[in-house]
Amino acid sequence: MIFLRYAIWRFITMLLTLAVVSVLVFIIINLPPGDYLSNQIAELRATGQAEGVAKAEFLRQEYSLDQPIWKQYMIWVGIAPGAQGYAGLSQGNFGWSFEFDRPVAEIVVSALWMTVLVNLAAVLFVYLVALPLGVLAAAKSETWVDYTAGFIGYLGLATPNFLLALILFYYGHRYFDLPIGGLMAPELEGEPMSLLKVQSILLHLIVPTFVIGTAGAAAMMQRLRANMLDELGKPYVETAKAKGMAPARLLVKYPLRMAFNPFIADIGNLLPAMISGSVLVSVVLGLQTIGPALLIALKSQDQFLAAFILMFVALLTLIGTMVSDMLLVLLDPRIRYGARG
Amino acid sequence: MTALLEVHDLTIGFGDAAPVVDGLSFSVNAGETLALVGESGSGKTLTCRSVLRILPENAKLRSGSILFNGSGGSSDLLKLSEKELRKIRGDRISMIFQEPMHSLSPLHRLGDQVAEVLRLHRDMGRSEAKQAVLAQFEKVGFGDPDRAWRSYPFEMSGGMRQRAMIAMAMVAKPELMIADEPTTALDVTTQAQVLGLIRSLQAETGMGVILVTHDLGVVANMAQNVVVMNKGRVMESGLATDVLGAPAHPYTAKLFAAAPMIPEVASAARVPSHDDVILDLRNISKTYTMRAGGWRKPVTVAACQNVDLQLERGKTLAIVGESGSGKTTCARIAMGSETPDAGGKVLFRPDKDADQIAVHEMSTTQRTLFQRQAQMVFQDPYSSLSPRMRVQEALTEPMEIHSIGSAADRRDKAAEMLSWVGLDPDMMRRFPHAFSGGQRQRLSIARALTLNPRLLVCDEPTSALDVSVQDQILSLLEDIRERANLSYLFISHDLAVVARIADEVAVMRAGVILEQAAPDTLFYNPQHPYTKALIAAQPEPDIRRPIDLDLVAKGAGSPSLWPEQYRFQGTQAPALRELEPGHKVRCHA
């Protein structure tokens, strides 16, 4: 029951945080002077296209860009009526993209799933690589195993992602016939889901996962190694040794379990770092994630599109931290019972 | 009869350095206890760990043999393979450690950690192992073994955790148990009970015990044979009755002289006077509200309640109590670093004819002055000195903060204070790591003295030190008190230490003062059952005066077990009554 109460409490705080984030996002996006439409109107006026101006003026009213900013915010969130009544985020209406001249939802919906997919694959990669390597490096600290793992890790941290991407594309294509760019074969785009499409996506995912995940894995590995080394010096390890436990089993049962906390707490941090880190990689690799769309939207002050993407990233982050917090409560009795021991 | 364990010519060293254990030999018989006694750095811990080969990685066993004649035949533990040794660890030979706080994994339930021994060595099923563990839990004194099985270590007190450790060590019925300072981290009353438990379990199973300790009092209560070690070598060994009765080696004699003892007093002391009070704590209470997180209700804890204490100028007032008794909270409030709950007041009179200052209602100038006049000496000399500051910087910094004198004046004062505490002023350029624990505590005292304080608050100043060093530091503190006309508020958990230095003692438990008197009065005529328990629990290095466990259990248990006269009503404690002049006891009339 303690856990249920905690989960509810944690969910409510997440919603509150999300509300605060929405205010910040909206303010930041509106910080540069002007907006997409006023820029466009000025340009149309300069070129003397009066009919275009009328349309832009109409859109300005339609999307309440002529209103004061606090009102714009409330309309965007959906707690004040706009030109079409209550039609904001809370009603599931994400707004209009002026750059693409389509509703935001239409532009991002497929990209959203791809983003989640690519980043989940990368997170999984990070954990699968960092966990064994970190534990191994700690258990065999200051031997060649440790040094090799450390060297590979630093190499992963230090190599620029786009460079790694280009190298992998080249060699991957040459020796393993891996596809270059995109998230699926071009002819399958827009097709309904099929076994062939799934296969194609998985094949296309290999290189991006590797590229996006390497740096994170290297950092995580070093962190886990340091945590493990701390734990290995603790008296309870001696106790377990004195019980007659075999080294491998001991390692997994006691110090690894203790070193796991920061590992889990990182889930929340990992997501935003990867999404923002993968924006450029997505552009270089030609991935249809929200990364490229965000870049365009920010450049052209396409405010509803940019705001929605930022809100989405924030939501992912908040969900990530919530999940890691709840996992910690489940895994660590000290947090569960609020002890300081 | 062959001995259970025969250690012969054991030599251990780090790298190429001189050995830290040098040519050590001893043997342990089944059913008997051998005590390895020595101060820190004597090699006693390395010795006991080498039996199970649980040593730091860079420690090398250079020579010798450890012959274990168990029921499964005889073998040299130093020559066994790791795999063969693992079968002996925890099964035939088990071990308990000093820090029950850290020696158990906080993430696993006690039942799981203890039953693991049986699953490793006995190939038992879950329910069978659980039955055995529950039975063992009951034997080590858990009232509710089922609850203990489900508990996590952090839910238990230190004494209970050490009982769980003992259960873990005993559950496979080993032939030899190694106990490495098993009670050093515990309160005296808990120590007495844990020692009693080890003794009764030993009597029941007939196992051999190696007890590592620095405390001759513990030896006298536990051991049949003693090995006294210093710097890796045996100084003296033999039957406990001989070694403790008539120490032959000067080193043993020195340890004896330094061991703090509760004196046997013939009469009560004269009444302590309260004419010129330098520090006056009036009706001090402190309640903490612990916020555990947004989804849990905050909990309030009363750290101390209605404490009234007066410290006479030039005297020492000691507050004695176990961990969690509120003694440190009192000291922090006296220093002004915590505010008492409403209604409490701390008054400080720097000089006999000066005005009293209310410590918690001072102006900024008064506060600066107060900080010069009241200084503190901390418990851990290893962490209370910055490792990156030279001695000179550490000693002159307080004067710099209060802008006293020129740089040359400050240096002279620092040098003078160093010589006061028995250190050479030439040491000013050194860093703290070049000093031993005792020397560091001298440095801390010197630092506190540089501002010419009137009042020194000493928070367990000798608890982290070896007995012989503790003795020197206490002498130093006595010296300085006379020389600089200081007054001490002395916080300690150890009645024997306090017996020596204090003019008046307040015994605290659970936030309230239970008994208060001059030390001699307290030892001559202790009234409160808890005070009696504290005195009885003090291990004396005298085989003829063993700890009276009954007395300890009666007084140190729950207050509801005290005689009617002393019992609390709910959380309401009886009033503190003056039984005879200068002797107060908390009891009903």
Report chain A residues whose CB lies below 8 A from the CB of B117.
243-244
Q: Measure Cα distances from A290 to A47, A92, A98, A126, B23 in Å.
A: 33, 19, 16, 21, 72
Q: How far apart are CA B156 and CA B111, in angstroms?
A: 13
Chain A residues within 8 A of B122 when measuring between CB atoms = none
Pick the residue with more confidence: B239 or A208?
Answer: B239
Q: Which of residues 277-336 of A touch B (CB under 8 A)?
A: 331-334
Determine the distance in angstroms separating the CA of B105 from the nearest CA of chain A, rounded to an integer. 6
Cβ proximity of A188 and A196 under 8 Å: yes
**A-chain residues within 8 Å CB-CB of B94?**
242-243
- Structure confidence at residue A66 (pLDDT): 78
Length of chain B in terms of residues written: 589
Question: Within its chain, how far is the Cα of B116 from the centroid?
Answer: 31
With residue B476 as reference, give the H or E element that holds it.
helix B467-484
| Cα–Cα distance list, A184 to A198, A203, A209, B565 (Å) | 9, 8, 14, 85
Which stretch, A20-34, A67-81, A109-123, B236-250, has highest mean pLDDT?
Answer: B236-250
| Distance separating alpha carbons of residues B119 and B116, to the nearest angstrom | 5
Looking at per-residue pLDDT, the higher value among B178 and B186 belongs to B178
pLDDT digit string (tens) for B520-567? 999 999 999 999 999 999 988 888 888 888 888 888 888 888 898 898
Higher-confidence residue of A286 and B81: namely B81
Please, which residues bridge with residue B24 across strands? B10
Residue from the list A234, A331, A341 with its beta carbon closest to the beta carbon of B153: A341
Q: Which residue of A has its CA nearest to B170?
A: A243
Give B-chain residues touching A242 at CB under 8 angstroms.
52, 54, 89-90, 94-95
Mutation target to probe the A interface, by most A beta carbons within 10 A, among B295, B296, B297, B323 is: B295
How far is A22 from A16, CA to CA, in rounded Å?
10
Average the pLDDT over A47-70 and give the result: 79
- Which chain B residues touch A if contact means CB-CB below 8 Å? 52, 54, 86-91, 94-95, 97, 99, 101-108, 116-117, 120-121, 152-155, 165, 168, 292-296
pLDDT score of B293 more than 60: no
Helices (H) and strands (E) in chain B, counts: 20, 22
What residues of chain B lie within 8 A of the CB of A331, using their CB? 107
Q: What is the CA radius of gyration of chain B?
A: 26
Distance (Å, whole) CA A104 – CA A100:
9
Cα separation, B446 vs B414, whole angstroms = 8
A246 close to B (CB below 8 A)? yes
**How far, CA to CA in Å, does B38 sit from each of B24, B47, B210, B230?**
14, 12, 14, 6
Interface test with B, best of A2, A229, A231, A239 (most B CBs within 10 A): A239
Cβ density class A70-96: b for 16+ within 10 Å, e for less: eebbbbbbbebebeeeebbbeeebbbb
**3-state SS, one letter per residue, for chain A:** CHHHHHHHHHHHHHHHHHHHHHHHHHHHHHCCCCCHHHHHHHHHHHHCCHHHHHHHHHHHHHCCCCCCHHHHHHHHHCCCCECCECCCHHHCCCCEECCCCEEHHHHHHHHHHHHHHHHHHHHHHHHHHHHHHHHHHHHCCCCHHHHHHHHHHHHHHHCCHHHHHHHHHHHHHHHHCCCCCCCCCHHHCCCCCCHHHHHHHHHHHHHHHHHHHHHHHHHHHHHHHHHHHHHHCCHHHHHHHHHCCCHHHHHHHCHHHHHHHHHHHCHHHHHHHHHHHHHHHHHHHCCCCHHHHHHHHHHCCCHHHHHHHHHHHHHHHHHHHHHHHHHHHHHCHHHHCCCCC
User: Quick check: B292 pLDDT over 60?
Assistant: no
A193 near B CB under 8 A: no
Do B102 and A337 make contact, defined as CB atoms within 8 angstroms?
A: no
Give the Å distances, CA to CA, from B399 to B106, B244, B405, B480: 45, 48, 8, 19
Residue A192 predicted with pLDDT over 80 = no
B292 with A9: Cβ contact below 8 A: no
Q: Which range, of A28-32, B206-210, B386-390, averages the lowest pLDDT?
A: A28-32
Residue type at B56 in one-letter notation = P
- Cα gap B176→A111, rounded to integer Å: 67
Q: CA-CA distance, A171 to B294, in Å (whole number)?
A: 53
Do B91 and A340 lie within an 8 Å CB cutoff? Answer: no
Main-chain dihedrals φ then ψ at residue B460, nearest 5 degrees: 50, 55
Interface residue of B107, B108, B212 to substitute, partner A, most A CBs within 10 Å = B107
φ, ψ at A124 (rounded to 5°): -60, -45
A257 close to B (CB below 8 A): yes
Average pLDDT, integer, range B228-239? 92
Look at residue B4 and tell me whether its pLDDT is greater than 70.
yes
Contact state of B155 with A236 under an 8 Å Cβ cutoff: no
Sign of the Cα torsion B222, B223, B226, B229 reads negative
Give the gap in angstroms from C-alpha B120 to the nearest C-alpha of chain A: 7
Taking an 8 Å cut-off on Cβ atoms, the answer to whether A243 and B292 are in contact is no
Mean pLDDT, rounded, for B310-330: 91
pTM over cut 0.90? no
For residue B118, what pLDDT is reported? 93
User: Tokens 């705001």, residue?
Assistant: A307
Computed on alpha carbons and rounded to an integer, the radius of gyration of chain A in Å comes to: 25
CB A245 to CB B116 under 8 A?
A: yes
Beta strands in B123-207 (DSSP E): 176-180
A230 in contact with chain B, both atoms CB, cutoff 8 A? no
Sorting pLDDT into bands at 50, 70 and 90, what band is B517? very high
- Distance separating alpha carbons of residues B163 and B158, to the nearest angstrom: 9
pLDDT confidence tier of residue B32, bands split at 50, 70 and 90: very high
3-state secondary structure of B491: strand
State how far the Cα of A119 lies from the Cα of A114, in Å rounded to an integer: 8
CB contact under 8 A, A236 and B116: no
Distance (Å, whole) CA B539 – CA B191: 9
Contact B86 A246 (CB under 8 A): yes
| pLDDT range class, residue A341, cuts 50, 70, 90 | very low
Please state, for a pLDDT cut of 90, what percent of chain B lies above it: 53
Residue A210: pLDDT over 90 = no
Identify the closest residue of chain A to B117 by CA–CA distance: A243
Angle at alpha carbon of residue A137, lines to A134 and A143, rounded to 5°: 170
A212 pLDDT above the threshold of 90: no
Q: A233 — contact with chain B (CB < 8 Å)?
A: no
CB of A243 within 8 Å of a chain B CB? The answer is yes
Picking from A160-169, B31-40, B403-412, B476-485, which range would have the lowest pLDDT averaged per residue? A160-169
Between CA A19 and CA B185 the distance in angstroms is 50
Nearest to A333 among B152, B294, B295 (CB): B152
Specify the residue for token string 């010589």: B419
Beta-carbon contacts of B22 under 8 Å, excluding residues fewer than 6 positions away, are B11, B43, B232, B233
Q: What is the pLDDT of residues B40-91, one digit of tens each?
A: 888 898 999 999 999 888 888 899 999 999 888 889 999 999 999 999 999 9
Using an 8 Å CB-CB cutoff, list chain A residues near B120.
Answer: 243-245
Element (H, E) at B217: helix B216-222
Residues B120, A243: C-beta atoms closer than 8 Å: yes
Which chain B residues are Cβ-neighbours of A333 within 8 angstroms? 106-107, 152, 154
Closest CA of chain B from A17, distance in Å: 15
Name the residue facing A235 among B91, B103, B116 (closest C-beta): B103
Token pair in block for residue B125: 């099923």
Tokens of A3: 């856990």
Inter-chain touch A337–B104, beta carbons under 8 Å? no
Q: Work out the mean pLDDT of chain B and round it to a whole number.
A: 89
Report the alpha-carbon distance of residue B487 to residue B457 in Å, rounded.
8
Segment B415-462, tens digit of pLDDT: 999 999 999 888 888 898 888 888 999 999 999 999 999 999 999 998
A335 Cα to chain B: minimum distance (Å): 9
Nearest Cα neighbor of B213 from B188, B240, B182, B185 is B182
CA pair distance B16, B460, nearest whole angstrom: 38
Q: Nearest C-alpha of chain B: how many angstroms from A233?
A: 9
Q: Mean pLDDT score of chain A, rounded to an integer?
A: 83
* A300/A27: higher pLDDT: A27
Cβ B259 vs Cβ B541: under 8 Å: yes
| Average pLDDT of the segment spanning A202-222 | 85
Nearest to A239 among B103, B155, B294 (CB): B103
